[in-house]
Amino acid sequence: MKQYLIVILWMLILSGGEGFAQTNPTSIIEDFKPSSVNQPQKLFPKVNSQRRVRASIAAPDAKKVQLDIGGIKYDMKKDENGVWMGESNPQDEGFHYYQLNIDGASVPDPGSLYFYGAGRWGSGIEIPSGDQDFFALKNVPHGLVSENIYFSKLTNSFRRCFVYTPNEYNENTKTRYPVLYLQHGSLEDETGWSSQGKANLILDNLIASKQAVPMIIVMDNGYAYKAPNNEAADNNKQQESVFEDVLITEVIPMIDAKFRTIPKRESRAIAGLSMGANQTMRIMMNHLDTFSYYGGFSGTANYPSSEVIDVSSFLDGKFKDGTALNKQIKLFWLGLGTKEPVPFPKSIGAFRKMLEQQRIKYEYYESPETAHEWLTWRRCLHQFVAKLFKSTI
């Protein structure tokens, strides 16, 4: 917790703190263009070549309006027509959640599309990146992302997952495909990877250029809790996560029955970002008979606090036999942004040190100049999926 507070304090100091993170109008380049994730026909928010964000909203009766990106608030100014406008300091490349604060109430910007992140549906802004071609919408064959609703007996509720099938899936009706199970992060949901993460476009482009094997991707909700036996009696109890059991006993059998998969461990991979990296690593190590490829983006099973790992007790000692794991796991892949907040490099560094001590083979990637954010995870997915299933197809 202290580490998080230090990071937040340091960010506030660098930015000038809430209410003081003001931009210098004389230094702003007036080449703003509407964000690529705006609502149709909406001119705001905009982004300029300095990677500043300019927002605007009509609120004639408001007393104070601020643009809030990453917890840093920028005061906006009202004109004679009651329209507020303001700019941020330069932002990192990539996708960011943001909101407007109107007289103390945080609300989505009606000019942007809405995304589920930070535990809410809210606004998003895309700061153009120099390498955005790999997730761009191009004139290539496109796969299908379908919504699959199912009833979970373990949670006693209807759930859904999104499933990406490559363009050729409906043409080559006798072909079976390997499957990647791909998880979102904390306070996000099953919409994240296809919406913010551009997973389908990344795969479309890689498959079209023959850099990746055509595959199915399953994106489920990592929040799954055991149905209480007695709701009145269990009101005060902490909810018990059963996501691992939902995935293993309900989702995978459903996917294998409904889609033309290759239902064996050599043709299954599992990966996730942040909280999802923690979940998927535990699932992988508990079910080596189910998966043979692993990808952890900005997280591991010691996410995000442990800086020292006792291999004899870590995950019930499942990393003790490096020789056996090297035979079972075809690819153990880790990725991280170079600007991630303090806990993540330390915990992942401790995990890598443990792997090296046990002589467990792994691959490691660093996303340049990105933090705990979607451009890091897009890059990780792009690197990871290009290595999957090539020895099994």
Percent of the chain past pLDDT 90, that is, above it, reads 87
Distance CA 165, CA 62 (A): 47
* Cis peptide bond N-terminal to 45, omega within 30: yes
Helix orientation angle between 199-208 and 374-385, rounded to the nearest 10 degrees: 30
Q: For residue range 5-26, what is the model confidence (pLDDT) as tens digits? A: 333 333 333 333 344 445 555 6
Report the SS3 class of residue 4. Answer: helix
Domain range summary for the chain, segments of one domain joined by +: 15-127, 134-228+238-385
Q: For residue range 25-43, what is the model confidence (pLDDT) as tens digits? A: 568 999 999 999 999 999 9
pLDDT band at 294 (very low <50, low <70, confident <90, very high): very high
Residue by residue, DSSP assigns 214-248 as --EEEEE-S--BPPPSSTTTTTTSPPPB-HHHIII
The hierarchical CATH code for the domain 15-127 is 2.60.40.10
Element (H, E) at 86: strand 83-87
How does the average pLDDT of the chain come out, rounded? Answer: 92
CA atoms within 13 A on the CB side of 73: 14
Q: For residue range 91-108, what is the model confidence (pLDDT) as tens digits? A: 999 999 999 999 999 999
Distance CA 22, CA 15 (A): 8
Element (H, E) at 208: helix 199-208
Angle, CA 149 vertex, CA 256 and CA 241 arms, to 5° = 85
Q: For residue range 342-352, what is the model confidence (pLDDT) as tens digits? A: 999 999 999 99
Compute CA 142 distance to the chain's CA centroid, rounded to the nearest angstrom: 21
Distance CA 308, CA 351 (A): 8
Diameter of the chain measured on Cα atoms: 72
* CA distances from residue 57 to 48, 358, 367 in whole angstroms, order as listed: 18, 56, 35
Residue by residue, DSSP assigns 286-355 as H-TTT-SEEEEES--TTTTT-SS--TTTGGGGTTS-HHHHHHH-SEEEEEEETT--THHHHHHHHHHHHH
Q: Is 294 exposed, middle or buried (0-12, 13-18, 19+ CB in 10 A)?
A: buried
**pLDDT for residue 340 is more than 60:** yes
| Of 277, 290, 274, nearest in space to 329 by CA | 290
Angle, CA 348 vertex, CA 346 and CA 350 arms, to 5° = 70
pLDDT of residue 70: 87
pLDDT of residue 13: 32
Q: For residue range 239-263, what is the model confidence (pLDDT) as tens digits? A: 999 999 999 999 999 999 999 999 9
Report yes or no: 304 and 339 within 8 Å, Cβ to Cβ: no
Report yes or no: 361 and 327 within 8 Å, Cβ to Cβ: no
Q: Which CATH superfamily groups domain 134-228+238-385?
A: Alpha/Beta hydrolase fold, catalytic domain (3.40.50.1820)
Report yes or no: 196 and 235 within 8 Å, Cβ to Cβ: no
Q: Strand 179-183 and strand 268-273: pairing? A: parallel
Q: Which distant-in-sequence residues (6+ apart) come within 8 Å of 355 by Cβ?
A: 319, 322, 332, 362
